[in-house]
């Protein structure tokens, strides 16, 4: 068996086309959806991410502005800027690119964003809405993973066992909640879980989100399982790779996401979905 690829680039293009259609519908009502992105400091990876997010937005007709600030920016000034954006009716979504400089409290900064504009889905109000099944904004990475599962026909996961490797609030926990909402049986663990392989070999779906190379190898995967690789690492040659031993696992799984070209493009695409959703709610 050789697993089929879940092509994140192709699926993200489909999502952007859907968003563009919704943007046009709002523009016909004289509403211009707008995303405001804030970057503090000069983290090289963050600079790449925000440029991609602006470009993605522009492809759909969304208006996106990028505000850059030096790493020395006082937290109070950042909070004041967020407050101003919260109060601006022309701004529908606010994203503060993480990580922030060490002197800033990322939690306090995220919580300063109005829940109605929290298009990254990190606010405690968004997390609470996800937990109780109420409307809110889902964190973009697990939201993109769920869309990838749906693209291969996995809508109702009743009777399926999913293992999520990674317990972070950004991916692991919200991913588990979304899988549970689709009726899956979910086990959440981490790279140090005792006898991790015994758990993953039972799973119909494995989501690897640890940030550690080869945390999932072929002998840890049940034949025919679906594998979603959220990791972003570098191999010995400096090439981008995920958490999964792709070459080996592909010989066992039925579907697998590549790195690059898998979850990454879908994470950015779901940011656009959240932003258009915020604009539609504001215009309702």
**Lowest mean pLDDT segment, chosen from 52-61, 110-119, 124-133, 176-185:** 124-133
pTM score: 0.95
Higher pLDDT, 44 or 154: 154
Architecture in CATH of 30-115? 3-Layer(aba) Sandwich (3.40)
Active site includes 24? no
Active-site option among 56, 97, 229, 245: 97
pLDDT over 90 (residue 250): yes
What are the boundaries of each domain within the chain?
30-115, 140-264
**Residue 239 annotated among the catalytic residues of the structure:** no
Among 118, 120, 229, 245, the active-site one is 120
pLDDT-derived band of residue 167, with 50, 70 and 90 as boundaries? Answer: confident
Say whether 140-264 and 30-115 share the same fold.
yes
Mean pLDDT on 139-166: 97
Q: What's the fold here for domain 140-264?
A: Rossmann fold (3.40.50)
**pLDDT confidence tier of residue 134, bands split at 50, 70 and 90:** confident
Catalytic residue among 53, 117, 118, 229: 53
| pLDDT on residue 45 | 87
Kindly state the average pLDDT of the residues 44-71.
95
pLDDT band, residue 190 (cuts 50/70/90):
confident
Burial of 46 (0-12, 13-18, 19+ CB in 10 A): middle
Q: Is 97 a catalytic residue?
A: yes
Share of the chain above pLDDT 70, in %: 100
Confidence of residue 279 (pLDDT cuts 50, 70, 90): very high
Average pLDDT over residues 190-212: 95
């Amino acid at each position: 068996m050789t697993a089929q690829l879940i092509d994140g680039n192709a699926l993200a293009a489909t999502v952007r086309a859907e968003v563009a259609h919704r943007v046009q519908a709002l523009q016909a009502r004289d509403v211009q959806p707008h995303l405001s992105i804030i970057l503090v400091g000069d983290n090289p990876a963050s600079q790449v991410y925000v440029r991609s997010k602006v470009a993605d937005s522009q492809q759909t007709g969304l208006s996106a502005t990028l505000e850059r600030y030096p790493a020395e920016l006082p937290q109070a000034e950042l909070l004041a800027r967020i407050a101003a954006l919260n109060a601006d009716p022309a701004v529908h979504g606010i994203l503060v690119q993480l990580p922030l400089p060490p002197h800033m409290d990322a939690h306090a900064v995220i919580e300063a964003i109005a829940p109605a504009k929290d298009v990254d889905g990190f606010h405690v109000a968004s997390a609470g809405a996800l937990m109780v099944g109420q409307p809110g904004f889902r964190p973009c990475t697990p939201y993109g993973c769920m869309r990838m599962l749906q693209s291969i026909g996995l809508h109702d996961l009743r009777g399926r066992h999913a293992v999520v490797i990674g317990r972070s609030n950004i991916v692991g926990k919200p991913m588990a909640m979304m899988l549970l909402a689709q009726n899956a049986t979910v086990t959440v663990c981490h790279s140090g879980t005792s006898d991790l392989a015994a758990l993953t070999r039972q799973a119909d779906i494995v989501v690897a989100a640890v940030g550690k190379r080869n945390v999932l190898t072929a002998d840890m995967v049940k034949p025919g399982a679906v594998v979603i690789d959220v990791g972003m690492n570098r191999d010995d040659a400096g090439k981008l790779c995920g958490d999964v031993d792709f070459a080996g696992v592909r010989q066992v799984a039925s579907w697998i996401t590549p790195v690059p070209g898998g979850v990454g493009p879908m994470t950015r695409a779901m940011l656009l979905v959240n932003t258009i959703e915020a604009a539609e709610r504001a215009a309702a």
